[in-house]
Structure 1
Amino acid sequence: MRIGITGHMHLTAATVDLVRSALLAELERFDPAALTGVSCLAEGADAIFAQAVLDTGGRLEAILPARDYRDTRAGPGHRPVLDSLTARAASVNYIAETSSVQAYAAANDAMLASIDLLFAVWDGVPSPKPGGTADAVAAARARGVPTQVIWPEGAQRG
């Protein structure tokens, strides 16, 4: 089973714990030996999901928008998490050499094209700008990718 992730980046500390628990509970339904998580490793939901996949014994595949993503787009607080996850990933694929809106869209498209199921850590609110979580959910549904929304009670954006 190949499961991808989309979700909000800015979550409250309490929401991080709620989302982590919800993702772990969902992932426990799958045989870890047959589980591959596919993530762009962005801060927030993507990174929480990636760590949960590894914690359950699954395989992690990273699809990063560009080779310069870590140094130009990942915040200083996220870089150690990103480094740890990429080091533990079974594969890391880069879509472009330099980060751009097009590279982010292409990374999301590559993730959606490679999965059987999408987890969406989403509060149900439309994206305020192109490329947000709502747009990823709409794209998955348009492709016929089954999508499971995960937004635990009490969750809030940060």
Structure 2
Amino acid sequence: MVRIGVTGHMNITEATAVQVYAAVRELVTSYGADELTGVSCLARGADSVFARAVLDVGGQLEVVLPSRNYRAVKVKPGHAAEFDDLIARAAKVRVMDFDDAGRQAYEAANEAVLESIAELVAVWDGETGQGGGTGSVVELARTCGVPVTIIWPTGALRE
């Protein structure tokens, strides 16, 4: 079983989401569907695009939610239907031991993803933010020896 995780920008444009989906799908089809497990926190944007691509090629999805209230307080109405569909299709859902979504919960979820995978897909424009973002997860993965595949298609944009 090959376990691949994801980190990435939440604020990718619709056109970028289409490009990212195609790139992720191409990457994950190199594994047999019965061998593939994708691990995602299901945030809008990159995480959900990755999850959909994994499921669409016949792989399994495992979800790591940062907190017990994540769905109620962090999933915006425009993303709720997709989030609920992906959760319903997941083979496993792990909820971190935090009541509230916040920096500690996100860091714990990212660490849980990294500890459970053989490879990380990062939908990342290469920009480092003020801690806790995609760049920080990429840096942590590299420090832990987890191989990272960066996906940022030509012309990709953030909102």
Q: TM-score range by the shorter chain?
A: over 0.9
Amino-acid identity (%): 50
Separation (CA, whole Å) in 1 of partners of 2:53 and 2:143: 27
Return the offset for 1:65: 0.3
Deviating beyond 4 angstroms after TM superposition, the runs of 4 or more aligned structure 1 residues are none
Query: What's the counterpart of residue 123 of structure 2?
Result: 121
TM-score by length of 2: 0.97
Question: CA deviation digits over 1:47-79, x for unaligned, max 9?
Answer: 000011000000000000011101111111111
TM-score by length of 1: 0.97
Note the 1:37-116 alignment, pairs <5 A: 37-95=38-96, 96-116=98-118
Return the offset for 1:98: 2.0
Question: CA deviation digits over 1:77-97, x for unaligned, max 9?
Answer: 111111111100001010022
Query: What's the counterpart of residue 151 of structure 2?
Result: 150
Query: Structure 1: any 5+ residue segments left out of the alignment?
Result: none
Separation (CA, whole Å) in 1 of partners of 2:92 and 2:14: 29
Return the offset for 1:122: 0.5
Q: How many residue pairs are counted as aligned between the two chains?
A: 157
Return the offset for 1:12: 1.1
Secondary structure of 2:77's counterpart equals coil
RMSD value, Cα: 0.7
One-letter amino acid matched to 2:67: A
